[in-house]
Structure 1
Amino acid sequence: MPIDAREILDNLTRAVVAIDDERRIVRMNAAAESLLHVSSRQALGEPLMQFLPALQVLDEAIEQAFSQAASYTEREMRLTLGPDRTITVDCAITPLETVNVLLLEFEQLDRHLRISRENRLIAQNQAIRELIRGLAHEIKNPLGGLRGAAQLLESELSDEDQREYTRIIISEADRLRTLVNGLLGPDSRIEHAPTNLHEVLEHVRSLAVVEAPAGVEIRRDYDPSIPVTRAASDQLIQALLNLVRNALQALGETGTITLQTRTQRRFTIGDRQHRLVARIDVVDDGPGITPAMQDQIFYPMVTGRAEGSGIGLPIAQNLVNQHGGLIECTSEPGHTVFTVWLPLEDA
């Protein structure tokens, strides 16, 4: 069987960029695209330092590697790839004399720290799952009463416009009942079906717009290339709605929430690597979450608000985890991001 060097390169987990003697990019594997947040189609043929200014710190080493045909290694090098993204990498520069090409290899150290943090979040989520099931039992009774009251009210109303409100109550009660039944199932799962993530987000956005104060704007920034995937849409709606409501409560009367989607290839969640994942960001420009609170927000009954219940984020984490995904949070004053990672293997 012939060996396809390109396929081998693309299946490496280490990021590799190849440049020629004119310092132009001639090859970039999938891991490098993911690490550097660039497309190989756009990069090919471009001058390395102009296309990736963050790599200017390697300029002298690259010149020495070409002139002396010598390898070079730099450990724990920090690369600033944008205003909000700095990574730490080990870098190896290796000349290929026969073809006059230089290989730049990058191993992201942040990745190992992130995997450790994700494993901790997954273990934490498993520990609180039983508590959530107990809460689900308590929700079922008042939910049934709510639905019944809405049905009785609907039968007394003659105005069709007013009946529309009761239908919304009944529809949302049915969705929540399905959600609760999923939480109470033998393995806390409900049936997955083909799901458009942007339809899910639009449903969440329509509910949030009704709840949002006049001074809060909810923006969209969608990646149309995200494919339809198999998921439990009710579970995703509830998880994302919890995140958006959390942002609304953080903002108060004014501010901006952005719903953003992107895809990422060869991404690891916990200790499992996925070929393709969806990244859904719920971004707000509120006051932020204190560093001490960020490590605890996914625990039940932990909240920074006196009126908060402290169960919204743990429930959201549980629901996303049932899809093989994970929710992470980064926050500083003026910029808080809750990121939902969802595998797209079935897409």
Structure 2
Amino acid sequence: MHAPDQAELLTLLGTGIAVVGPDLRVLWINPALGEVLDVGPRTAVGQPLGLLLRQPLLAGQLERTLAEGRGYNLRGVTFGVARGREVTADLAMQPIGDGRVLVEVHPLATDISGSDTPLSATLRGFAHEVKNPLAGLRGAAQLLERRLADSDQRQLAAMVIAEADRLAALADGLLRHGGAARIGPVNIHELLERLEGLVTAEAEAPRVRHDFDPSLPDTTGDNDRLLQVLLNLTRNASEAGARTITLRTRIEHGARLGDRTMRAALRVDVMDDGPGVADEMRDVLFHPLVSGRPDGTGLGLALSREIALEHGGDLRYVSRPGDTVFSLYLPMERPHE
């Protein structure tokens, strides 16, 4: 097994990706975007991206991105695809040198269980990559659990085994039948208490505080995937040097999620007192393969936002030194309601 390079990761990524040249014509698209547009990658190459998406206003925005040398995000852009269908998506454009622009297409989710929200191919690709290391990790933890005399240390080894089993089950779920999400009731406070146990068990863990709204009802979703989002956020905060993380839950009325305004949405805030998001990262923070750490993969936040969108929600942030808040939004009602 080999570690995938960046070209392979872009091919695996469930986010639609296009690379556009100085003439605004497509140089390359990944299979995910080909699926959205119902067009083969070879057919797409050489076509103006605005024409391919049947969105003439796109050319002007691409020209602006190239001229100013900085990224732009467009929300709720509607464009045409094959057989007269239309897709509404968030678009992100980022210059990548040599007159090229990287364009990300995030179709807005409409139904967590429907075909309009296909599971991330990135997650499926990485499911293959992690299964063998997880088996080795679990085996080592089992040996430790049998040999340790101290009950607290055995409890930590048991936690490692339980997490390895959870991740292995998640990987198996991703690899079966396209990895359909396991939708069920989600008690967000039970999920956050489980999260706290995982965070505080790590070396040099930050202090974790609660600010819960006890009146919140259960919502629906995939517990394991939502836990993975929140783990990514808390670990990012810890690795950035946060000393305190506050987990806060609230109901937000009239929340705008994609192209819909929700009567009520569940908002889970992960707040930290770390140094904040660097200025140069703000416009590209959720882009794939972008990381503020030398050893980072640049996939954690991209995948986290993808899971949020898959649930019909969103992942957003505000940041300043000493006060960073990442907010996971989940609809309290399903689209058919």
Name the TM tier (shorter chain). Answer: 0.5 to 0.7
* 1:293 aligned residue: 281
Contact 1:212 1:248 in 2 (8 A): no
Q: CA deviation at 1:157?
A: 4.9
* 2:224 aligned residue: 234
Q: 1:33-55: CA deviations, max 9, x gaps? A: xxxxxxxxxxxxxxxxxxxxxxx
Q: 1:1-347 counterparts in 2 under 5 A? A: 119-120=90-91, 123-124=105-106, 129-157=120-148, 160-211=151-202, 213=204, 216-251=206-241, 255-345=243-333
TM-score (norm 1): 0.59
SS of residue in 2 equivalent to 1:123: strand
Aligned length: 232
Structure 1 spans left out of the alignment, 5+ residues = 1-112
Q: 1:235-279: CA deviations, max 9, x gaps? A: 111110110111111125xx3221111112232211123222101
Bigger helix share: 1
Contact 1:298 1:313 in 2 (8 A): yes
Q: Structure 1: how far apart are the matches of 2:279 and 2:76?
A: 19
Q: Structure 1: how far apart are the matches of 2:321 and 2:153?
A: 42
Q: Structure 1: how far apart are the matches of 2:151 and 2:247?
A: 33
TM-score (norm 2): 0.61
Structure 1 outlier segments of 4+, above 6 Å: 125-128
Contact 1:330 1:336 in 2 (8 A): yes
Contact 1:115 1:269 in 2 (8 A): no
Q: Structure 1: how far apart are the matches of 2:152 and 2:270?
A: 33
Q: Letter of the 1:146 partner, please give it.
A: L
State the identity %. 45
Q: Structure 1: how far apart are the matches of 2:162 and 2:203?
A: 20
Q: Structure 2: how far apart are the matches of 1:191 and 1:223?
A: 26
Q: Letter of the 1:304 partner, please give it.
A: G
Q: CA deviation at 1:295?
A: 1.9
Contact 2:185 2:220 in 1 (8 A): yes
Q: Structure 2: how far apart are the matches of 1:208 and 1:118?
A: 34
Superposition CA RMSD, Å = 2.9
- Structure 1 residues 157 and 256, CA, compared in 2 at 3 Å: closer, same or farther? closer
Q: CA deviation at 1:221?
A: 1.0
